[in-house]
């Protein structure tokens, strides 16, 4: 019975949009996306860039030309190889955690890792399928917030149009504030195909990064998406 319950729980995380779970899965061909323009449409992304003081001409060209599309794909492909199939997904020192979980759940993994390197056991206690620690390149491959030499390195695969990613945004910010120099966050793109504006939003973040304002654009998009 426990095995069956665990399997069903993990499956629900894979199909989040259909089941209302805490992570969104890859696109289902039977799902028809809505046509409503999102708050992160290309038009609105360009307006955000202007508000952030970016060079509009350079930003718009980067976005319109798809300059960062290959980088977005590279990061997404990396995530897929690591077992990421839905958003948000986090690797805490290489241990995969899936979904918009309560802050206390993240803390249990972080505290165990800080105490005795016990992130794997802590993740299993949360019902995660991960039983091994995966190797993932950090520093230099993505944008990092916090101490680059932190003992706990969180790599997040995210989608700016994903409501669960948006819900996780303040949780992760709170973790960074609580643990200070002990924790860092490194971004990875993982736009889901059934989100019409997610791909360009991911590109927009990286285009802003070319002008030194990646995190400003990242935070602004999630802030805007969280507004009623």
- CATH code for the domain of 137: 3.40.30.10
pLDDT at 20 over 90: no
Q: Is residue 19 one of the residues assigned to a domain?
A: no
79 vs 29, more confident: 79
Q: Is residue 206 one of the residues assigned to a domain?
A: yes
Question: How many separate domains does the chain show?
Answer: 1
Q: Is residue 2 one of the residues assigned to a domain?
A: no
pLDDT at 88 over 80: yes
Q: Give the residue-averaged pLDDT of 100-123.
A: 96
Q: Is residue 1 one of the residues assigned to a domain?
A: no
Which among 136, 12, 163 is positioned nearest to 80, based on CA atoms? Answer: 136
Q: Is residue 22 one of the residues assigned to a domain?
A: no
pLDDT the model gives residue 190: 97
Q: 185: alpha, beta or left, given left = phi > 0 and alpha = psi -120 to 50?
A: beta
Phi, psi of 168 (to 5 degrees): -75, -20
194 vs 13, more confident: 194
pLDDT at 181 over 60: yes
Please report, rounded to a whole number, the percentage of residues in the chain having pLDDT higher than 70.
83
Q: Is residue 27 one of the residues assigned to a domain?
A: no
Q: Is residue 26 one of the residues assigned to a domain?
A: no
pLDDT at 211 over 50: yes
Range of the domain at 221: 37-225
Q: Is residue 100 one of the residues assigned to a domain?
A: yes
Please give the mean pLDDT across all residues of the chain. Answer: 86
Question: Residues 119-178: pLDDT tens digits?
Answer: 999 999 999 876 789 988 776 668 999 998 999 999 999 999 999 999 999 999 999 999
Question: Residues 35-44: pLDDT tens digits?
Answer: 466 899 999 9
């Amino acid at each position: 019975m426990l095995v069956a319950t665990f399997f069903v729980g993990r499956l629900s995380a894979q199909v989040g949009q259909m089941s209302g779970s805490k992570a969104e899965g890859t696109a289902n061909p039977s799902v028809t996306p809505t046509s409503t323009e999102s708050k992160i449409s290309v038009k609105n992304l360009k307006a955000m860039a202007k508000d952030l003081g970016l060079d509009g001409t350079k930003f718009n060209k980067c976005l319109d030309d798809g300059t960062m599309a290959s980088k977005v794909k590279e990061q997404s492909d990396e995530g897929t190889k690591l077992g990421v199939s839905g958003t948000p997904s986090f690797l805490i020192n290489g241990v995969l955690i899936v979904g918009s979980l309560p802050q206390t759940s993240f803390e249990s993994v972080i505290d165990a890792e800080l105490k005795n390197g016990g992130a794997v056991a802590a993740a299993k206690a949360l019902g995660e399928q991960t039983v091994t620690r995966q190797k993932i390149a950090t520093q230099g491959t993505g944008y990092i917030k916090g101490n680059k030499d932190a003992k706990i390195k969180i790599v997040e695969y995210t989608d700016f149009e994903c409501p669960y990613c948006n819900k996780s945004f303040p949780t992760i910010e709170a973790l960074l504030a609580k643990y200070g120099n002990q924790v860092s966050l490194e971004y990875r793109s993982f736009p889901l195909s059934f989100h019409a504006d997610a791909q360009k939003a991911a590109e927009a973040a990286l285009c802003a990064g070319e002008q030194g304002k990646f995190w400003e654009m990242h935070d602004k998009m999630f802030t805007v998406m969280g507004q009623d």
